[in-house]
Copies of this chain bind each other. A is one copy, B any other.
């Protein structure tokens, strides 16, 4: 019987089995015989536990899960057999013994550093490594009902944090003080501690409290609103900027529960919101309403973007949509799961037909240089007959 020292749900055995089966099928389709998986999130996805080790999966023979540390925790949490190792070099002989080391071998070349890949090529006696990136992204793309349940629990943390916002946001408060309170509330309600974003230099906070000027400053991050941050060494997140009347306070919060990420944005305002922000807020709301009416399994992501952009253009807001100037980004939504930059991306650039079980954040936002920003972000689960919201928090502006 699997158990964990934590209170959360463990990944059921059938889930692990079916994920590994999907991987093996994709590998067979691409002619890859052995997958050598090193990234911790991928290891967690395919094993149910997050330990230091390596997961080898043979298309022909199935998995061999090598664990360096912690064997104690791994044994509790994964339904797979564990092969304890002291050093990575031990893996080769065991793979040979299990007849797993033949044919083309693949790794996660989007995240595995060159030096580590070279080390594994040398350990396994391989001259080349195929790229597993697309295979793994495809396997992880459609979420199971178990995963969607985890995402809903992650969303419950988001609901509590937005509720807390009502009680604490006040005129004259610094963004960073609001950030601190919401961060604390999230942890008390079970937030896992940080969010994961795949790839080199992909960093993020759990909460972004931004307001007025702060919302309009661009950063190196690929997001419509990054905030100024406390330091130029990070350059994103809350700053010491102070809340003024009539200007939106943007709270963008990422829930995290058992690894699963949610990501929603709400607007708070002290006093009456400045006229400038009314129309863009209505357009953001209309885009969400319309998308919920037509999008479903079978809809192409580019069509969602196109319909939204039609509304933006009709309102004459295209220069402010999803950033301004060099800060404008080319998407209105991004996939969610164990990482915050999963597929599907809702962009005009890549076609992707939605399937039941895909999960994505959808975030029409408008930025007005010198003034501030406004927008909404909600998370959707794709169903055969429409989109399901992840949280129950209304999208209305919260007047505080």
- Determine which of B217, B222, B240, B258 lies in contact with A73 in the assembled complex, contact meaning CB atoms within 8 Å: B217
Residues of B within 8 A of A258 (CB): 231-233
CB-based contact A194/B205 at 8 Å: yes
Residues of B within 8 A of A117 (CB): 114
- Determine which of B71, B217, B230 lies in contact with A8 in the assembled complex, contact meaning CB atoms within 8 Å: B230
Check if A94 is an interface residue, CB within 8 A of chain B.
Answer: no
What is the interface of chain A mostly: helix, strand, loop, or mixed? Answer: loop
Given contacts A109-B115, A194-B205, contact A200 B38 (CB under 8 A): yes
Residues of B within 8 A of A219 (CB): 51, 69-70, 73
CB-based contact B194/A203 at 8 Å: yes
Check if A263 is an interface residue, CB within 8 A of chain B.
Answer: no
Q: A4-B232, A110-B115, A183-B183 are in contact. List 19 more A-B contacts (CB 8 A).
A: A6-B229, A8-B230, A40-B201, A48-B232, A51-B219, A69-B327, A72-B218, A73-B217, A110-B113, A110-B116, A113-B114, A184-B184, A190-B230, A193-B230, A193-B234, A194-B205, A232-B258, A233-B259, A233-B260
Tell me the A residues contacting B by CB distance below 8 Å.
4-8, 10, 38-40, 44, 48-53, 68-73, 77, 107, 109-118, 129, 131, 133, 176-177, 179-181, 183-185, 187-188, 190-194, 196, 199-201, 203, 205, 217-222, 228-235, 237-240, 257-260, 326-327, 338
List 8 A-B pairs, minimum CB-CB distance, nearest first.
A233-B259, A180-B184, A52-B220, A70-B218, A180-B187, A184-B184, A109-B114, A51-B220
What are 11 A-to-B residue pairs whose CB atoms are below 8 Å? A8-B231, A38-B200, A40-B201, A53-B220, A68-B220, A72-B326, A111-B113, A193-B237, A194-B234, A232-B258, A233-B258
